[in-house]
Amino acid sequence: MRSRFRSDRRLTVRMTVTMFLLGLLYVAFVAALIVLLKSWILVAVLVAVMFVAQFWFSDKIAMFAMRGHVVEREQYPELHAVVDRLCAIADMPKPVIAVSELDMPNAFATGRNPDHAVVCVTTGLLRRLEPAELEGVLAHELSHVAHKDVAVITIASFLGVIAGLIVRFMFYSQLFGGGRRDQNTAAIFAAVIGVSAAVYAISFLLIRALSRYRELAADRAAAHLTGRPSALASALTKVSGEIARIPTKDLRTAQAFNAFYFTPATGKEPGIERIFSTHPPLEQRLAQLGRISAELGEAAAPEKTG
């Protein structure tokens, strides 16, 4: 089913290119592991188990980590009403609605496709936003589902997760059992760690680049669907300001899921490290929404004079 969210060819191209490059990296990674470990069965089982766990259970993992729970219409009627209205306008299936009992104002979408998606908001977000602002945030999250970039990010991050786990496993295995190995085994372990670290670094940069663009695409799609980019800009400003006041120690747990959030749980705008950020700078997002607001105003002017 094709939703009424404005399509974004540049996002589609970026997702395709990212998946293609990560696919090549994935093939090279698996081949290197088979050569180094000399057991294609071990590698195949490891990769298959991790892929199933991440792809099919990514929503449950994210919900568990962020203390989210599914809520029915009777519990949050206004939240359900906003999502119902947006899904009707966008002509898309309604996702499962969840609420996280966190004071950090934020929201995220997860799921492997539009028919198996979850949109979760925190109680901190619900307490702080006005209805129009909440609508803008929810439209932003729904656009991630409609554009299928949530699924792409989930699949794309799979390779990085595998590589990261192998690096940790090999490091601790070498640390605590290195004395019992000969030089050949130690060399293989070092090679596996090196290959895994390189794969993790490359996949990390590719995913971050895609993540920054998809946030801009979601802002654009939400602004055009609701027709109120100023409300989304207001929500962005308010949420970013509130997160900046939350102690860093309280944000550390949430930072692992920054790529899925409406606004990153960093508490500050990135400086030189923005190349590693999951989101574009707040100023860039607000500037884009300002341009869309001007465009919508110019488009509405002829109708008023006619």
SS3 percent helix, strand, coil of the chain, rounded to 5, is 75, 5, 20
Could you write out the three-class secondary structure of 145-158?
HHCCHHHHHHHHHH
Token readout for 144 is 């991630």
CB 95 within 8 A of CB 83: yes
Q: Which amino acid is at 185?
A: T
The span from the CA of 137 to the CA of 272, in Å, is 27
58, 74, 96, 99, 115 from 80: Cα distances, Å: 23, 9, 10, 11, 17
What crossing angle do the helices spanning 149-177 and 131-146 adopt, rounded to 10°?
A: 80
141 is catalytic: yes
User: Does the annotation list 144 as a binding residue?
Assistant: yes
140 is in an annotated binding site: yes
Say how many Å lie between the first and final Cα of the chain, rounded: 36
80 is in an annotated binding site: no
Sign of CA dihedral 297, 300, 302, 306: negative
Cα dihedral: 116, 118, 119, 120 (round 10): 180
Alpha carbons within 13 angstroms on the beta-carbon side of residue 81 total 7
Q: Which helix (H) or strand (E) holds 118?
A: strand 117-122
**Residue of 141, 242, 269, 295 marked active site:** 141
Query: Which residue from 115, 117, 116, 133 is spatially nearest to 125, judged by alpha carbons?
Result: 133
Question: For residues 73 and 3, what is the distance between their CA atoms, to the nearest angstrom?
Answer: 23
For the annotated binding site for Zn(2+), the residues are 140, 144, 215
For the annotated binding site, the residues are 140, 144, 215
Q: Which residues are catalytic?
A: 141
